[in-house]
Structure 1
Amino acid sequence: MKKLGEDMVKNCAGLPLAIVVLGGILATKYPSLTEWLKVSADVKSYLNNNKCEVLRDVLSLSYDDLPPYLRPCFLYLSHFPEDYEIPADRLIQLWVAEGIVSSKQGDEGQIEEDVAEGYLMELAERCMIQVRERDIATLKMRSFQMHDLMRDVCLSKAKEENFLYIADQSNACQLSTIERVHRVSVHKYFPIQGIKSPHLRSLLFFDEFFPCEEREKVLPLTVTNYVNNHRNEDFNLRFCFVVAFVNCVLTTKFRGIWKYMFNNLNFLRVIDYERRGDAGWKLPNDIGKLIHLRFLRLRNLNFRILKLPSSLGNLSCLQTLDLRIISKRRCWESIHVPNVLWRMQQLRHLYLPYRCSPETKLELGTFGNLQTLVNFNTKNCYVNHLINMTNLRELEIRGPFNIEDFNTEELDKNPPIIQSKYLHSLSIFYYEGRIDPRHLARLLSSCQNISKLNLNVEIRRLPEYDYSSSNLAYVHLRGCNLEEDPIPTLEKLPNLRALKLHVGAFIGKEMFCATEGFPKLESLSLACLENLEDWKVDERAMPSLRQLDIQKCRQLKKLPDGLSFIATLQELKIGSMPKTFEDKVKEGGEDFCKFQHVPSITFHHCGHCKC
């Protein structure tokens, strides 16, 4: 088999990408000699056609070698623009919404998202996609890209199979003559009224809803020039009249775009907006007509009236709903969401607005299928509804978190908050207040399987180790204002691999890592701990540490001597620290001999940056 492999590599004409992709194909056949012989014959067959196109032919072979269930998954990647970094979770949600993957195709007990994740890994193992980022806690793929040449093959195959249509201003007019387009990916704005296909299933937008240059085209040039020339002048009645006229014209245009989509594309399953931008006066009521929608993403669209229509409740088939819209005037203006989401009992991924209006109060107790819940808070939602979300995998709380009727005397008698055994990620962001540490401890005690914890909220005191999941692999603390050293609690976590203590996480002066603490910690980041003066590390602490990053801890006098005993340390980054600190560590400094075993030591912005 070795000789056979060498022969096939020679056929690749020394092209690295061709060799890598061919290796990906062969890896799926190992250790079957029969399968390798078949691949070898295919390679020779392909390359005999045109030896000047070796790379293209090998990449085409990688597609032809795909099993039937992976082909539509690969073709779907043609939606995304060149050099685009594709978020894995978003792609998986799109695959599921369009029915490209099914739980029936996976092992018993797997849901569609698990199957889709397996398919994505298969594409990576075949070297058809390039992993860009992995989740530090779970090591799962977070984002990836396609090589330009592989994308060319993907586009070519998608066009051959009429899989989708990529629309921009240059070819939008052709859409009116194509009646059976099922998918349209808009890379550059074009008038949506050009889509005449009644069978359209998905619309993905990678440009603004209605760019500024297009708005200028619908206005008389004299009006545009007048507004541009007088916008900085004092109050002028004529100017106000002209601005009102402009708003009226644009509002009509925006309404026309939405109305056409909601009234003529009735079989849409997917609407996905990528870019922020003005989207008109408000989201129209007509959206309730798209009863077949499975995926609706409105993230970062700007509306003037931040009140969502109650007709959203008609979209009972929705699986993914992203309502993180923003105000044209102020990004953090509150948004009113009517209490109709409970009708969407098929929801699997819900992204609520960053800030809901005080009048918003949502019932979410019907979401037994929900896997992702982002921007939950107890001001606009009911905490006792979380217990019904038995399939929840990711929970992000943004804002207050208070437990009603909390028993402060007998803490163990409080009912559990979450019963999902699948929850692996918990994040809390609350910049305007603090959370009662007892409420946080109760929440953590209900999350015994989480591997990822992100806290950006004032708590003053870290809950005891007993309340934390032993599976925690990633912890990021920020703005917690911890008064006591958090290390004695955190170093007991047996599976912690990454720890970040950033801006205001700890406000004390001393930290101490004890012997055998942090047994599996690989990455440690300390940033903007303004009061930290003394950090001590025992000789046998952090035996697995590989990366250490210290930024803007400007009161810290020196690195701990105990770090010199960590043989695994590969990378030390020091940034925005006093020059005296840098001088001790760099070559010739008094502490250089303690860290000269570290292969990579870098300094940047030392001596002059402030936190």
Structure 2
Amino acid sequence: MAAYAALVSLMHIIDDLERHHSPPISLNKQQVQSLTENVMFLQEFLEAYISPVSDEADPLEMRIADAAYAAEDAIASHIVAKIQLSRSTEADISPVSDEADLEDPKTVSSNYDDDDDEEMNLFRDMQNVIQEMDQIKSLAMQRNTEKVVLHDTRRSFVSASSSTGKNSSGMVVWSEGVVNGILERLVSDQRERQVIPITGMGGIGKTTLAKTVYSKKIIEQRFDVCAWATISQQYNTREILCELVSQATKKTKEQLSEKSEDELELELYQHLIGRRFLIVMDDMWSIDAWDRIQRFFPENENCSRILVTTRLSHLSSQLNNNYSLQMEFLDEVRSWELFSKIVFGVGSCPHELEKIGKKIVENCRGLPLSIVVVAGILRNREHTLGVWESIRKNLASEVNLDNDKHCLKLLKMSYNHLPVYLKPCFLYIGLFEEDYSVRVSTLVKLWVSEGFLKPMNDKSLEIIAIEFLKDLIDRNLILVGEVGSTGNIKFVKIHDLLRDLCLNQSKKDGFYHVIGQSSPQGMSSQRRVVIPMNMPKKKVLDDLQSMPCARSIISEYVNVPRIKNSGLLRTLHAYNKFLYLEDESLIKSLASQYVNLRHLAVELGSMSSVFTSFTRFWNLHILIVSCWKEFTAPAEIWRMPQLRHIEMINGSFYLPKPSSDDVVVMENLLVLEGIANFKCSEEVVKRIPNIKKLCIYYLRRGGIEQDDYYCLKNIKRLCKLESLHVACWGDFAPYALTFPQSLKKLTLQMNRGFEWEKILEKIGALPFLEKFKLYMGCFGTGKWEMVEGQFPSLKYLELQWCPSLEHWTAESNSIFPRLEKLYLLEMEELKEIPTQIGDIPTLQKIWMFYCGESAVMCAKEIVEEQVELQGEDFPFHVRVWLRRKNEAVQSLASPNFEVICNSSN
């Protein structure tokens, strides 16, 4: 797996050098041909290779990986040397240099001599790698064909629908008695607060059972407050409190970010006191965690309940001496039922496979997670007797192992059966913290930057990454954590046992090293380094200094420490908080020394030092920077065609005007976020033809009288643009703004004087628009009159802070034909909403935050009409948030019309 990832990454570097308009070095063409042939052969070999080694690293794979790493290091090292030589030449020509402390300037003539030496050294180093790969190739060709996987690995990478995986992960596999038993405990009339523990081994379904009962309608009707928190082994009290307070009070975590732990404790206690609550504490590992948190749950004597899931039986007895539910393994009938539904869906098992299928299920020993994963393997394999017999034989060898050890061994089968191109992507998810929700966009950027993804069929690497992710979800190896408003997957998670598998396999292969853990490969050879949160500073510094081969740093650590061979680093990223560079000399060295970076995500006090040498990031793909100061990018940014994603957070970031002399087209640039006063001139349009996401804002400055100064009419020429966010501050009113037909997501935040009537017709005509957010601005007439045919594809509509809108009407019954979610925020003057909205067949919910009473009454009428037509079980739901108590509105509450008051006043 590490070998395959290294080969794909090496090919990316070769391609980058070959296609770059000004590569730092040039490779010998004959060497490139030989190296490419060897890499392609070894890739194909690994795609069909079955390792004879199970419990340790495969020597052949390690040798392949080492050869690929050697080639990468040789190329990267010579790039560093070449750039340093060019700096020396510059220093000799101009004696003033902000990098003078990094090296001693040489004479111009000696620089030329050194340049020739570098060319010779590069040729020699690459020749050594080619000779090593030739030997590996000969060895691979001698391998017995019995060690080749029999299935076809060259299948299409396009994943099957993930709906099957979704259904299988949420499938109820217990008897009605188990579910009803928990429900009876939760809704019983016993007034004192009760703790109800659910215990059992990992993977047996404790969390899924808790989610099943938690989502029941009777729970929603029974309890005033419901909240869920995951505890885990390394729990963080403040994060748990923040999660509970957020769910209980409906406040966002951003609203709670500034509150201390004591303030959160008090707010949670005050919100729960007097209310009947249900709190779920998922995955608890110690009584200490319970003792630390349980005091915030008041004893209201009103039938409040706390549901706890834990793997530890002794912990359940400490929580409740009288009752706990010990999860049992599934019996034969239910095991087969679960297996069959995952593999065949609504169909049935072919008669010729039923006997061997039941043997496979028997070897899973009733563990739901094992059944789900093994069934996921078989669902994606040929339904033939030979394939199933192969699976059965491998399972049988693991039958005598116990509990978690057995499960881990069993789950490893799912890893072994992954196509080789998916293995590095799957293992990479294990480097995130336990129970962490991984943002899909972040994961995709890292996969791309790490070089895991092999180009194919003219698809962008980002599209390939999403297909791979869906494939892993469909195999039940990754869980969907959160789905966005238009159905896209926003966050994913991984089960604890599967994460353990990732960590164990990565440790064995030397794929990545987590600081604080042991490594059988030793420290000096580690390529990827994970720095967990709360790791002591000395430990981080000591370990990094002993890892000269580190090429990626993934961290939650507060400050970025110096590392050896910084010029060879390719990924510098923090996945929860930005890494902060506080040392000015380190900031200066970032661009002058870290020249091989592909991925940079940091927080800086200033960008000036970095931009001084910005173009030395010769192969930078991802640039994500948080900086509170105002700065302008150097003009050279338009000569960096390898850039794929530019995102600026906080401060003001300005793009300079591209020079008409340059002809570089930034074909790879897909995302451009956080740019101030973006001028979409014809030159800019030509430079970014494939842009998909654009987030810009305008700060009105004196002397600019017409909105076409920013050439906003040209935005419609960005014909691949899918997501556009425009924010205008000051008195700037961009009526010249146009939109490409390709647009799917649109967010517009305008000043109070901007009249929406002048632009809404253009927006409503967009054929593929699925998500529209309208912030502030005004309606000059106080009305929004909708006409038939507008917004044909819209699924999500949000209106916020637009006090001038009083009447929202429709002249036709056919409006928003595909609308699913409507959010109205701070619309206090709104008196009516179109009654036709209730007739939209796809509508799922209307959420109203602090809106006028008249509009709320309209929503209630829509609900009543639909209840009368369809009954109370139809899926449409309205939720209303009140800033203060309103008895008239609160009295309207019903199962389909929820009213939440965030104030006791």
TM over 0.5: yes
User: What does 1:417-496 correspond to in 2, within 5 Å?
Assistant: 417-430=715-728, 432-440=729-737, 442=738, 444=739, 447-458=740-751, 459-462=754-757, 463-467=759-763, 468-483=765-780, 484-486=782-784, 488=786, 492-496=790-794
Query: 2:424 aligned with 1:72, yes or no?
Result: yes
Partner of 1:547: 845
User: Greater shift after overlay, 392-401 or 48-57?
Assistant: 48-57
**Residue 592 of structure 2, aligned match among 288, 296, 302:** 288
1:391–1:162 Cα change, 3 Å: same
Partner of 1:273: 574
Partner of 2:677: 378
Query: 2:390 aligned with 1:38, yes or no?
Result: yes
TM-score under structure 1 length normalisation: 0.77
Partner of 1:571: 877
Distance of 2:766 and 2:846 partners within structure 1? 24
- CA shift, 1:118, in A, is 0.9
- Report if aligned partners of 2:847, 2:878 keep a CA contact under 8 Å in 1: yes
**Residue 440 of structure 2, aligned match among 85, 88, 95:** 88
Partner of 1:207: 557
Deviations along 1:163-204, one digit per CA (max 9) or x if unpaired, are 111114x76xx8996221111111124443643333322111
3-state SS, counterpart of residue 439 of structure 1:
coil
Partner of 1:180: 525
- CA shift, 1:295, in A, is 0.7
- Report if aligned partners of 1:349, 1:372 keep a CA contact under 8 Å in 2: yes
User: What does 1:121-136 correspond to in 2, within 5 Å?
Assistant: 121-136=470-485
Query: 2:618 aligned with 1:316, yes or no?
Result: yes
- CA shift, 1:25, in A, is 1.4
1:175–1:288 Cα change, 3 Å: farther
3-state SS, counterpart of residue 717 of structure 2:
coil
Query: 2:548 aligned with 1:198, yes or no?
Result: yes
Query: 2:642 aligned with 1:346, yes or no?
Result: yes
- Report if aligned partners of 1:526, 1:550 keep a CA contact under 8 Å in 2: yes
Q: Which amino acid aligns with 1:111?
A: S
- Report if aligned partners of 1:166, 1:185 keep a CA contact under 8 Å in 2: yes
- CA shift, 1:368, in A, is 2.5
3-state SS, counterpart of residue 377 of structure 2:
helix
Q: Which amino acid aligns with 1:436?
A: A
Query: 2:453 aligned with 1:155, yes or no?
Result: no
Q: Say which structure, 1 or 2, has more relative contact order (CA 8 Å, 6+ apart).
A: 2
Query: 2:893 aligned with 1:586, yes or no?
Result: yes
Partner of 1:497: 795
Identity %: 22
3-state SS, counterpart of residue 133 of structure 1:
strand
Distance of 1:562 and 1:601 partners within structure 2? 10
3-state SS, counterpart of residue 790 of structure 2:
coil
Distance of 1:145 and 1:346 partners within structure 2? 31
Q: Which amino acid aligns with 1:449?
A: S
Partner of 1:388: 687
Partner of 1:297: 601
- Report if aligned partners of 1:199, 1:265 keep a CA contact under 8 Å in 2: no
- Report if aligned partners of 1:356, 1:380 keep a CA contact under 8 Å in 2: no
- CA shift, 1:304, in A, is 6.7
Query: 2:818 aligned with 1:520, yes or no?
Result: yes
Distance of 2:571 and 2:522 partners within structure 1? 22
Query: 2:723 aligned with 1:416, yes or no?
Result: no
Distance of 2:555 and 2:570 partners within structure 1? 14
1:87–1:606 Cα change, 3 Å: closer
User: What does 1:5-154 correspond to in 2, within 5 Å?
Assistant: 5-29=357-381, 31-48=383-400, 53-103=405-455, 106=456, 108-137=457-486, 139-154=487-502
1:405–1:527 Cα change, 3 Å: closer
1:585–1:40 Cα change, 3 Å: farther
- CA shift, 1:41, in A, is 3.0
1:565–1:163 Cα change, 3 Å: same
3-state SS, counterpart of residue 204 of structure 1:
strand
- CA shift, 1:159, in A, is 0.7
3-state SS, counterpart of residue 409 of structure 2:
helix
User: Greater shift after overlay, 25-34 or 523-532?
Assistant: 25-34
Distance of 1:451 and 1:354 partners within structure 2? 25
Superposition RMSD on alpha carbons, in Å? 3.3
**Residue 399 of structure 1, aligned match among 681, 698, 706:** 698
- Report if aligned partners of 1:294, 1:319 keep a CA contact under 8 Å in 2: yes
Deviations along 1:487-536, one digit per CA (max 9) or x if unpaired, are 6169721111111112x135222222441211111111112102112334
3-state SS, counterpart of residue 473 of structure 2:
helix
- Report if aligned partners of 2:689, 2:718 keep a CA contact under 8 Å in 1: yes
User: Greater shift after overlay, 512-521 or 64-73?
Assistant: 512-521
3-state SS, counterpart of residue 714 of structure 2:
coil
TM-score under structure 2 length normalisation: 0.53
Higher fraction of helix: 2
Q: Which amino acid aligns with 1:206?
A: E
1:277–1:26 Cα change, 3 Å: closer
- CA shift, 1:465, in A, is 2.8
Distance of 1:175 and 1:310 partners within structure 2? 42
- CA shift, 1:123, in A, is 0.7
1:32–1:375 Cα change, 3 Å: farther
Distance of 1:552 and 1:290 partners within structure 2? 50
Partner of 1:217: none
Partner of 2:900: 604
User: Greater shift after overlay, 14-23 or 414-423?
Assistant: 414-423
Distance of 2:358 and 2:882 partners within structure 1? 50
User: Greater shift after overlay, 339-348 or 305-314?
Assistant: 305-314
- CA shift, 1:24, in A, is 1.7
3-state SS, counterpart of residue 772 of structure 2:
strand
Deviations along 1:69-99, one digit per CA (max 9) or x if unpaired, are 1111112122212112111121111111121
**Residue 264 of structure 1, aligned match among 565, 568, 574:** 565
Deviations along 1:457-488, one digit per CA (max 9) or x if unpaired, are 23321414345421011112222334444461
- CA shift, 1:407, in A, is 9.6
- Report if aligned partners of 2:784, 2:809 keep a CA contact under 8 Å in 1: no
- Report if aligned partners of 2:377, 2:475 keep a CA contact under 8 Å in 1: yes
3-state SS, counterpart of residue 91 of structure 1:
helix
3-state SS, counterpart of residue 879 of structure 2:
strand
- CA shift, 1:397, in A, is 1.1
Name stretches of at least 5 consecutive residues in structure 2 with no aligned partner: 1-348
1:583–1:182 Cα change, 3 Å: closer
- CA shift, 1:347, in A, is 0.2
3-state SS, counterpart of residue 293 of structure 1:
coil
- Report if aligned partners of 1:375, 1:397 keep a CA contact under 8 Å in 2: yes
Distance of 2:769 and 2:898 partners within structure 1? 29
- Report if aligned partners of 2:807, 2:833 keep a CA contact under 8 Å in 1: yes
